[in-house]
Amino acid sequence: MKVVLRNLTKKFPNRNKKGADVIAVNDFSLEIPDGKLIGLLGSSGCGKSTTLNLISGLEKPTSGKIFFGEDDVTELPPEQRGVGLVFQNYALYPHLTVRQNILFPLQNLKGEQKLSKAEMEKRALEAASLVQIDALMDRRPSELSGGQQQRVAIARALVKMPKVLLLDEPLSNLDARLRLQTREEIRRIQRETGITTVFVTHDQDEAMSISDLIVIMDAGVINQVGKPQEVYDNPVNLFVAKFLGTPGINLFRGRVEKEMLWIGGEAVLPVKGSIDQAVTVGIRPEGFLLNTRGAFSCALDRVEVMGRDTSVVSHHREALADTIRSIISADNIVDSAASIVRFDLKPNKVFLFDPETSRRIPVASDRKEG
Ligand code: ADP
Ligand code: MG
């Protein structure tokens, strides 16, 4: 089921009566292709849950429209939209068994949708098998791990065969290892069922690893939509560049003069087609190449060997943070006793931003992904 959000805005009245309304979602337009998994990514309070609640019908938009396929569902109540919902806190009924929890949404179906007991059992077992909890059907939630409880919640959302699956930070209550495992599971289930899915998270790693498309949100507004790698390789602004990648992008004050990028007193990279101006320079950690005669020199703090890679920690007078992290192949030998480390820069890993607007400044050598 394709989902189209058109100019959605949601305002909440300010609790402090004199204050202005809170604009949780601001003129949000997005087309979610049929059968895809969309990662809705942004920091806490940016409007992710509100967007999800607008899609499910739990919240009504102040303005704008929502379409499921060709149907305008903006005025439709949640139970008529055919959505499955999963929240961070699994919200299972503690006094019911796993089986009863999963059956619960089916028992309330009325009229034409009403199912026989045998059909309900069959559907519940199918949903349970899909999330691999079919051996736990007679347990109660208190007898399950967090990961298992979240699987029950997913099975309960799937049992009604929703047209759209909405997941609001479903992994946040799980420990690190389970989080990794469960996100792979969600990916598998989504592929097997082909249900159009919106996955909300503040964790960029999570969103990058399982999404077909990521949507990066800030203060109720979409900043960028694209395939995870495309967005990483081509951030439209400083916010997006900073949000993606671990370790994060390194930032410097710089300037363009006669198509040359300068950081401090060093000409570090030719930048064709850029006009002379002050810039904020972003360099991905993997954008540094060790070279004893490299154009860019940093003051070396320490070298951390991490198996496959080596992390060089340094600092620079023009850097916006206290430390610079560069990741280089462990094949390189870094003299950790040296006080200066020199680099060449990989042009496709260096981004320029307008210090006033934070927008990306195009450089002629920027290559667009085909
Ligand atoms: P996220 O899920 O990204 O953390 P939310 O969608 O929950 O963000 O919230 C977005 C903004 O809207 C926040 O500023 C939040 O305080 C505000 N907000 C959300 N729900 C309500 C509400 N029911 N009443 C008033 N303000 C709300
Ligand atoms: Mg939220």
Taking only the tens place, the pLDDT of each residue in 178-221 is 889 899 999 999 999 999 999 999 999 999 999 999 999 999 99
Give distance in angstroms: CA of 274 to centre of ligand 2: 40
> pTM (2 decimals)?
0.91
Distance in Å from the first CA to the final CA of the chain: 27
Determine the distance separating the centroid of ligand 2 and the alpha carbon of 202, expressed in angstroms: 9
Residue 331 Cα distances to 112, 246, 282, 295, angstroms: 66, 21, 25, 21
For every one of its 370 residues, what pLDDT tens digit does the chain have, with 9 covering 90 and above?
Answer: 999 999 999 999 987 777 889 999 999 999 999 999 999 999 999 999 999 999 999 999 999 999 999 999 999 999 899 999 999 888 899 999 999 999 999 998 888 888 999 999 999 999 999 999 999 999 999 999 998 999 999 999 999 899 999 999 999 988 888 889 899 999 999 999 999 999 999 999 999 999 999 999 999 999 999 999 999 999 999 999 999 999 999 999 999 999 999 999 999 999 998 899 999 999 999 999 999 999 999 999 999 988 889 999 999 999 999 999 999 988 888 888 899 999 999 999 999 999 999 999 988 765 444 3
Q: Which residues line ligand 1 (CB under 6 A)?
A: 12, 22, 24, 42, 44-50
**How many angstroms is it from 160 CA to the middle of ligand 1?**
28
pLDDT of residue 369: 40
Alpha helices in the chain (DSSP H): 48-56, 98-107, 117-130, 146-158, 176-193, 204-210, 228-233, 238-243
**Superfamily, domain 3-237:** P-loop containing nucleotide triphosphate hydrolases (3.40.50.300)
Integer-rounded Cα Rg, in Å, for the chain is: 25
The residue extents of the domains of the chain are: 3-237, 240-369
Q: Which two tokens stand for residue 72?
A: 């305008």
